[in-house]
Amino acid sequence: MESRAKAAGHAVHQQLVVLPLGILALAVAFDVVGLVTGDARLAFAAYLMIAVGVVAGLVASVFGLIDYLAVPRGTRAKRVAFLHGAGNVAVLVLFAGSSLLRTGDPEAVPGTPAFLLGLVALLLAGATGWLGGELVGRLGVGVDDDAGLDAPARLTTGIALPGQAPHPTSRETP
């Protein structure tokens, strides 16, 4: 089932999710190191990363919702996509809560509640990321209908690379 929101021939949601996943994981890592070392600069960096990660997650979620709405009802893919999306909403809420608990002094090492919210959110993000992988890799959500091991590049002009046949929809003749 092809994605309904594409840029440069690829699903936008799949392109965008790497930023919030990476930056929010890095925020938790900065918190861990900050707690161990007492370095408040790391806590402030984590605070900023959480803000950026939550905003980036909201942007990615818009495109995930567009794809979710196109998944046929009554399918396993729809159920998995719902869990994936709902879980990621929870991830963003937990990280936003962690950020709110820090707003009194964002340059201080986070308290236990703020740290635990971020840690739980990261663990949940791992589970929802796995569900996203299940959607794409197993259930084919966001995968082009003509995908395959020898499928042409999306940004091709119709000119075949060495050892590659021209795409059947190409205007070029062999």
pLDDT score, position 167:
52
User: What are the pLDDT digits (tens) for 116-165?
Assistant: 999 999 999 999 999 999 999 999 898 888 888 888 877 754 544 556 55
Number of Cβ atoms within 10 Å of the Cβ of 144:
16
Kindly tell me the burial class for residue 2, based on how many C-beta atoms sit within 10 Å of its own C-beta (0-12, 13-18, 19 or more): middle
pLDDT, greater one: 61 or 149? 61
Question: How far is Cα 156 from Cα 163, in angstroms, rounded to an integer?
Answer: 15
Is the pTM above the cut of 0.75? yes
Identify the CA nearest to 68 among candidates 135, 127, 126, 144: 135
Q: Under a CB-based contact definition with an 8 Å cutoff, are residues 165 and 101 in contact?
A: no
